[in-house]
Structure formats: structure tokens, C-alpha cells
Chain A
Amino acid sequence: MVAKRRLNPGTFLLSYGFIITLVAMIVLFSALRHEFFSVKNAIFILHAAAPTMILATGVAFVLMTGKIDISIGSIAYLSAGVGVMLITRAHMQLIPAVLIIFAVGAVLGAINGFTVVVLRVNPLITTLGTLFTFRGLALQITNSSTISIPGLGNFASIRAGPIFIDIFIAAIVLAIYQLIHTRSVFGRHVMAIGNGSDIAQKLGVPVDRTSFLTFVLSGLMASIGGVLTMSQVGSISPSLGSGYEFTAIALLVIGGVSLFGGEGTIVPGIVLGALTLTIIQSGLNFIGASPFVYPLVRGGIIFIAMYADSLKNAVARRVRLIPE
């Protein structure tokens, strides 16, 4: 009575294609450079991936409802900027300043959420607007300058054994999100909205409240990611968070989160996506490729991921229409 999903080569490739690619890449880079395949390098790869992984996790729920948030890079910069000003001008302590950074991130996310949910502005347009305004504001208050924060720089080098603290933070965020996604009413509502907000509404899902919250969470996670980036560098610079939104969204799509909504996982999806992108970068680095090759390779991967996404959707739709 239970329908079994037919596993033909096409759907197999669509479902597991990126795991295969990932393994193939690791094998390839390791064959070219033995040092690549080491615990030390693996830890550095995770270290480098941690901030974007957190940003991507934050925006994942927005994508799963079928919407989009491209302002997260700017939210990371503006919230961090506010914190840095509090530390340097108002001589605030590090910990309260960081907490304020998180609060600012959530508020900025709430502005997006309000515009999309209450004012009914298209999410892409909304967050395109805030992408520019938030960054503009941040450039104003930081005077477009690079400011170093010594205390924060030490934070990023804290390790437990060989593992950096930001890897732990990313792991904790992922674990919490995994729990919310699979076990909480909110997480299921997010997925329901992604399947069609009209149907979800009809079935009693609080569509507006849930969508609003996904934007708030997206802002909050962006600010956490911003703080981590800042701590890795030890300073805030005008380019902080710039382009993060696209890395995060690309990472999600590679990890199987559909831009059409209603589809995707936190674990393993986001982890796989983050690893794929970072391993390419690290691998190219190891084999001594020109840094100018990265965008090209990354672009190719993103294109393939997006194509696979729309292909998967076309297949799913066809399956649905035909009676047994």
C-alpha cells in the first residue's frame, strides 16, 4: 500500500549528486596534494566555513517558506558596526556590546519581516532595499573605516584541543536549528508555508507570524555570523559581510534547500553545502591555483546547483500529476 519512490539514475543523481561531487573533490585534491587530506586542514576548512554556515542557517527558514533575504551581509555589518561604536566611543564592555549587536540584528530582521508581511512588499525587493540602506547606514556610523577590537581578536583563537571555538558555536547553532526544524511546530509551519501559503492558511497555520519570525531569526543569525567574522579578523572593515548573502544562498541551494520553498534540511544539507564551497576554495588554494579562478569555479557550482534545483522541482511536479 505504501508507495515506494522509484530510484532511477536521474533522481538518484539529483538527490545524492553533491555528496558524490564532494567526495570526488576531496579525493582529487588529496591526490594532487597530500597535505590536503589532514585533520589540521579539515579543522581550518571548518573554521573558515563557520561564519557563513551560521548566516546560511539563519536564512534557511526564510528560503524554506519560499521567500528570500539578501540583506544578511549588510545586517552583519550594521549590527557589528553599532557594537564597535559602543565599544570604542562609549567604552562599553565586550559582552554587553555583543549582546546589543545580536539585538540590533534581530531588530533589523524584524524591519525586513514587517515590510514583507505587513506592508506586503516582495521579499526580494524589500531586502534588496535594506541591503543598500543597512550598509549605507553602517558606512556612516563607522566612518567607512577599519577599526580593530583587540579583545574580540583573542576570542577567535580560543580552542578546545585543536578545535576553534567558532566551530563549536556553528555546531551549536546547527544543532538548535535542526531541533527546531524537525521537532517544533514553528519548524513544521515553515515547511507548510513553503508548500503553498494559501493551503497553509486554510489549515490554520499562522502564516504571517511565522514568516515574520523567520526574518527576525535571519537577522539575528546574520549578526552572530558578523561577530564571528569580526573576531576572526580582529577588526571591522567596510567590506564586512559583503557578498555573504549570495554565498549563504548558494550554500543552501547546494545543500538542497529549494528556492521554491518547502524543501531542504539543516543537517546534513547546510553542512554539505558549506563544506562543498569551502573545500573548493581551500583545494584550489592548495594546488596553487590563481585566486581569480575561485569566482569562476564557485559560479559554475552555483549554476549547477540551481539547475538541479529547478530540475528536481520539474520532476516532482510531474510525479504529482499522474495518477497511479
Chain B
Amino acid sequence: MSNPVLRMVDIRKSFPGVDALKGVTFEAFAGEATALIGANGAGKSTLMNVLGGVIVADAGHIQIGDEPVTIRSPADASRHGVAFVHQELAIMPTLSILDNMLISAFPGRNGFIDYGKGEKLCRDALSKLGYTFNLRTQVRDLSPGDQQIVEIARTLLGNSRILIFDEPTSSLTSREKERLFEIIRIMKSHASAIIYITHLLDEVFTMCERAVIMRNGAKVAESMIGDLTRNDIVEKMIGSQEVVNYFRHHERKPGEVLLTVENLEREGFLENVNFSLRMGEVVGLWGLLGSGRTELFRALMGLDPINRGRIRLHKGGNIVEMNPTNARKVMGLLTEDRRTDGLLLPMPIRNNMSLANLRNLLSRLWPFVARAREEQVTREYVKKLNIKSTSIEQRVATLSGGNQQKVVVGRWLQTKPLIFLLDEPTRGLDVEAKAELHAIVGDLADSGAAVLIVSSDLDEIISLCDRFLVMVRGRIVKEFPGDATKHELLATASGIAVAAEGVE
């Protein structure tokens, strides 16, 4: 076996509260694609961000070719021939293809650009990938797939030896995906080392020679792809660690159907989504990053327009068609990122909690909020949810993550919604806060509400839910009962069982 082009040795990185990388050693070889596989939060992105200079590791060293290198910034990385094709493309929509490709290093002298030379460079780079664009076209006029081509072609200009692709197919159509795979083949033939981050196992088997599997910030397996089966990979991604002692729910008896969703579609994000929710049940929505979970929540809530489909609420024998206005009245949404989307951080608990319910807190005489009632209701929910704070006037920014999350829950509880949509409700919380939130979820269901949860924590979702819906690429591909295994969920989401059933 030839020597690796890249060696990352014993890389460590901790963030407050988490050891994101616990001493990972990683190698990549010229002319080969290495798949970097792992569940959400396994540390793949952190590892690659270290290589790309986006974050600096606490310990460990990197060797490229035969030389040890120090990478402390994206500029360092590109100097050493590392190029990163991010999931979020780094393109400038109003600039031409030419400018987008050349931006990091314009050819020319005295500050003026030699576009003749630049055009030739770009044309050569694109032709290596088999493309001819009109280089003067603004990039915003290209399809997402073509924009990605421009970004990949840019890396060719810099003579990159190591190319990192982070979930490159998430915004592509299937035709564009085929083209991307072809390009990766071409790049391999030019002796580049490819690192391919993905959750989609099909792509791993088509594209990659080697696989490195990570779990919880550590490398758990490394092997040639031919020596692995899909099941091996899924096993290793899950691991055999004992289930953390999570809150285990008692049997619940779901009541009547509360919400039905039929043929919901939002072009490019959701496709033919069908499911129903019953009173008093907790349903887990499982899927990989970018599979459309958050988009589904937003569509249900009426935050994004939908192209097709019906969302109907069954209420006391009546069927009500949902629209953005009445959705707000019966649903409560806990957003994925509470700090930016869920809370007014500089404001006190009181304002944050009463926000969705102000209409009911108005004074009888005046169109103003009745302060006394607002305070009384806030205190009630602070007590109910056991929010630890000095007073209801404490600024939310100064609360711990768990208490912040409870403030958001309290806000929606006040409106007495029938349906709760919880998007990553325990992300970033400590064990105790998690347990408390799990208990709250249980209480919600017991009180008759329907709860739909998105979580990237497989253990959490398994222990919490009565039923599971699995999403892949904007569709709900399978439903599992409460006794589903982690293996079943992960395998379905990664496209294995789906392929076996020929659904795609």
C-alpha cells in the first residue's frame, strides 16, 4: 500500500461540555475516496473542520505528503492543498462564474486582473470536469448543481491534493448527483485524495474505496469498502454501548386521530408526505440531517408555503382545514435553535413566556397587557416547569440551556396547543435537564396533546416515542411501532431498507 497523502494523528478537540474529538487518527490516500461515516454528532464535521482550518484542534498533528503542517486558518489549509466543498456553498451569486472561481487568487499584475489568462485557467479547470460554461454568466442564474460544479472547479485552480466533500448531494437532483459522482471519479484519476462525508450508504458503496466510521468523537472502524456490508456499517455507527439510563415512558393509549396530513409537498424540500397524529401520543420523526424534518415542521406551522397537500385537524367531530393563521392557534413549535429562533435573549422570562399568549392577557378596559395577570401566569408556568431563576424578570440570556428551553415550552403551554412540534428539544442540554424535558414531554402526552419530536439522539428518540416516522430526502418512507430498534431506524434513514423495498 502506498503512503497516505494525509495523516491526521491523535486529533483532540473539546467544546464546553463535550469532547467532540477524543484522539482521532485519520488517513487518506491519493486517487482514492475515503468515506467518513457517522451519525449526527459523531464528530465527522469537527474533524474535517480541523483539516479545513475552520476550527483549531486542542491537540494532535497533521501531516500532508511527507511534511508535518500547521493549519490554523482556511488560508493555511488551501496553501497546503486542502480544499473544502461545504454543504453550504461558498459562492457569490451576483458575480460571474469567472469571478467566483478566481476570487481567491486573481491572475494579473498591479492590482488589475488579466481576464484573458483567468478565462483560460477557468476554462481548463472546467474542462477537466467536462464542462463548458459561459464564464460571464452570473452564478445566481445557475442551478444548485451547476453552482456546486463552479465551486469544485475553483478547487482545481488551487492545485488541491485533498478534497473534502461535506454532504455534497443534499441539494442536488438525481441527474446532478450522477454528474457529481462522475466528477469525483475524474478527480480521483488526477490523483486527488477525496474525503466524502455522508450519511447515505448507497453513495458510500458507489463512490468510495475506503471507509472510516466515527461514533461519539472517536474512530470506531477503518476498512476497505469491499470488506464491509451495509449492516456492518450501521452496527458500527450505533455501537453496542448500553442504553443510557433514559426516562422510559409507561405505556400510553393513544386516543382519537387529531391531525392528518395528506400529500404534503413543498417543491425541493418535501414530497408526498402522509401521516396522522393521535391524541396523547409521542411520535418520533427520525431522519438524517437535511432529510426534511425541520422543513416538515415549518410547513405544518405555516411558516413556509406549501405547493400541494392538505393538513386537517379533527376537533370534536369537526374537520378543520389548517392554514397559517389557525395553525398557530393549535400548534406549538419548539425550534431547533432556541437562541436565534426561539427566544428574545435580552428580555426577561416574563416577556418571553407571554409572547404567544398576549392576546389573552389584555386588560378588560384597555388594549394593553394586564401586567398583574401576565406576572401571575408567568409565575404559574415557571413553577409548573420548575424553571430555576432568581425572578421572572431575569434576562433569558443568563439562564442555563435547560431552563431556556423550558421558557419556550412554557410560552407554548400558555396557548394550550393540541399539537406540539419539538425540534431537537434537548440539544446542548445536560443530563439532568434532558431528563426533566423528557418528563415534560410525557406530561404533555398524558394531558392529551399530540407530540411530534425530531431528535438526532437515537437513544433519546427510541426511549421517548410511541411510534416512529422515518424521513429520507423529503419523504416519509416508513413507519415503525414503538418497539422499533435503533438499527431499524438508522438503516432505514441511511437508505438500506428503502432500497431493499424499492421505494426510493
- Contact of A3 with B by CB under 8 A: yes
In the bound complex, do residue A323 and residue B172 qualify as a contact, i.e. CB atoms below 8 Å apart?
A: yes
Interface 9-residue window, one of A17-25, A27-35, A163-171, A202-210: A202-210
Interface 9-residue window, one of B33-41, B107-115, B241-249, B438-446: B107-115
In the bound complex, do residue B95 and residue A195 qualify as a contact, i.e. CB atoms below 8 Å apart?
A: yes
Interface 9-residue window, one of A118-126, A183-191, A229-237: A183-191
Provide 13 A-B residue pairs closer than 8 Å at the C-beta atoms, listed in order of the A residue.
A1-B132, A185-B106, A185-B108, A185-B111, A188-B106, A195-B93, A199-B90, A200-B103, A204-B105, A262-B95, A320-B140, A323-B143, A323-B268
In the bound complex, do residue A191 and residue B92 qualify as a contact, i.e. CB atoms below 8 Å apart?
A: yes
A299 to B466, CA, bound (A): 61
Residues of A near B141 (CB, < 8 A) are 3-5, 319
- Contact of B19 with A by CB under 8 A: no
A324 to B175, CA, bound (A): 11
Q: Hey, what's the 0/1 contact readout for B320-341 against A, CB within 8 Å counting as 1?
A: 0000000000000000000000
Taking a contact as CB atoms closer than 8 A, the residue among A3, A184, A196 that contacts B92 in the complex is A196
Residues of B near A320 (CB, < 8 A) are 93, 140
Q: Hey, what's the 0/1 contact readout for B128-152 against A, CB within 8 Å counting as 1?
A: 0001111001001111111000000
- Contact of A90 with B by CB under 8 A: no
Taking a contact as CB atoms closer than 8 A, the residue among A4, A5, A188 that contacts B99 in the complex is A188
Residues of B near A200 (CB, < 8 A) are 92, 103
A185 to B106, CA, bound (A): 7
- Shortest Cβ distance from A188 into B: residue: B99
In the bound complex, do residue A183 and residue B133 qualify as a contact, i.e. CB atoms below 8 Å apart?
A: no
- Contact of A95 with B by CB under 8 A: no
Residues of B near A316 (CB, < 8 A) are 93-94, 140
11 new A-B contacts at CB < 8 Å, known A1-B132, A192-B99, A323-B143: A2-B133, A4-B141, A184-B111, A188-B95, A188-B99, A191-B99, A195-B93, A195-B95, A199-B91, A322-B268, A323-B144
- Contact of B231 with A by CB under 8 A: no
Residues of A within 8 A of B (CB): 1-5, 183-186, 188-189, 191-192, 194-196, 199-200, 202-205, 262-263, 316, 319-324
Residues of B near A188 (CB, < 8 A) are 95, 99, 103, 106, 113
Residues of B near A321 (CB, < 8 A) are 268
Residues of A near B95 (CB, < 8 A) are 188, 191-192, 195, 262
A114 to B108, CA, bound (A): 29
Q: Which of B29-50 contact A (CB under 8 A)?
A: none
- Shortest Cβ distance from B146 into A: residue: A3
Residues of A near B112 (CB, < 8 A) are 183-185
A187 to B235, CA, bound (A): 53
A288 to B425, CA, bound (A): 68
Write the nearest CB–CB distance from A46 to chain B, whole angstroms: 29
Residues of A near B137 (CB, < 8 A) are 2-3
A204 to B134, CA, bound (A): 25
- If A2-B133, A203-B90 touch, does A324 touch B104 (CB 8 Å cutoff)? no
Residues of B near A322 (CB, < 8 A) are 267-268
- Contact of B385 with A by CB under 8 A: no
In the bound complex, do residue B145 and residue A192 qualify as a contact, i.e. CB atoms below 8 Å apart?
A: no
Residues of A near B93 (CB, < 8 A) are 195, 262, 316, 320
A4 to B250, CA, bound (A): 59
Interface size class of B (residues with CB under 8 A): 35 or more
In the bound complex, do residue A192 and residue B144 qualify as a contact, i.e. CB atoms below 8 Å apart?
A: no
A319 to B91, CA, bound (A): 15
Write the nearest CB–CB distance from A81 to chain B, whole angstroms: 33
- Shortest Cβ distance from B88 into A: residue: A199
- Contact of B397 with A by CB under 8 A: no
Residues of B near A262 (CB, < 8 A) are 92-95
Residues of B near A263 (CB, < 8 A) are 94
- Contact of B173 with A by CB under 8 A: yes
Write the nearest CB–CB distance from B101 to chain A, whole angstroms: 10
- Contact of B433 with A by CB under 8 A: no
Residues of B near A205 (CB, < 8 A) are 103-104
In the bound complex, do residue A323 and residue B140 qualify as a contact, i.e. CB atoms below 8 Å apart?
A: no
- If A2-B133, A188-B95 touch, does A204 touch B78 (CB 8 Å cutoff)? yes
Residues of A near B108 (CB, < 8 A) are 185
- Contact of B63 with A by CB under 8 A: no
In the bound complex, do residue B113 and residue A323 qualify as a contact, i.e. CB atoms below 8 Å apart?
A: no
In the bound complex, do residue A192 and residue B103 qualify as a contact, i.e. CB atoms below 8 Å apart?
A: yes
- Contact of B74 with A by CB under 8 A: yes
Interface centre among A3, A4, A184, A316 (most CB of B within 10 A): A3
Write the nearest CB–CB distance from A160 to chain B, whole angstroms: 29
A185 to B115, CA, bound (A): 11
- Contact of B171 with A by CB under 8 A: yes
Residues of B near A323 (CB, < 8 A) are 143-145, 171-173, 176, 268
Write the nearest CB–CB distance from A14 to chain B, whole angstroms: 14
A195 to B89, CA, bound (A): 13
A2 to B137, CA, bound (A): 8
The 7 closest A-B pairs by CB, nearest first: A195-B92, A324-B143, A262-B94, A204-B104, A2-B134, A185-B106, A199-B90
- Shortest Cβ distance from B54 into A: residue: A202
Residues of A near B75 (CB, < 8 A) are 204
In the bound complex, do residue B92 and residue A202 qualify as a contact, i.e. CB atoms below 8 Å apart?
A: no
A5 to B267, CA, bound (A): 20
Residues of B near A185 (CB, < 8 A) are 106, 108, 111-113
Residues of B near A3 (CB, < 8 A) are 137, 141-143, 146
Residues of A near B103 (CB, < 8 A) are 188-189, 192, 200, 203-205
Residues of B near A1 (CB, < 8 A) are 131-133, 146
Write the nearest CB–CB distance from A259 to chain B, whole angstroms: 13
- If A204-B75, A316-B140 touch, does A194 touch B94 (CB 8 Å cutoff)? yes
- If A188-B106, A199-B91, A202-B90 touch, does A319 touch B133 (CB 8 Å cutoff)? no
Taking a contact as CB atoms closer than 8 A, the residue among A2, A186, A203 that contacts B104 in the complex is A203
Residues of A near B134 (CB, < 8 A) are 2
Q: Hey, what's the 0/1 contact readout for B65-82 against A, CB within 8 Å counting as 1?
A: 000000000110010000
A1 to B132, CA, bound (A): 8
A324 to B137, CA, bound (A): 16
In the bound complex, do residue B94 and residue A184 qualify as a contact, i.e. CB atoms below 8 Å apart?
A: no
- Shortest Cβ distance from A187 into B: residue: B113
A191 to B172, CA, bound (A): 27
- Shortest Cβ distance from B143 into A: residue: A324
- Shortest Cβ distance from A5 into B: residue: B141
Write the nearest CB–CB distance from B265 to chain A, whole angstroms: 13
- Shortest Cβ distance from B154 into A: residue: A203
In the bound complex, do residue A324 and residue B132 qualify as a contact, i.e. CB atoms below 8 Å apart?
A: no
A245 to B60, CA, bound (A): 54
Write the nearest CB–CB distance from A153 to chain B, whole angstroms: 38
Write the nearest CB–CB distance from B385 to chain A, whole angstroms: 37
Q: Which of B236-294 contact A (CB under 8 A)?
A: 267-268
A2 to B139, CA, bound (A): 11
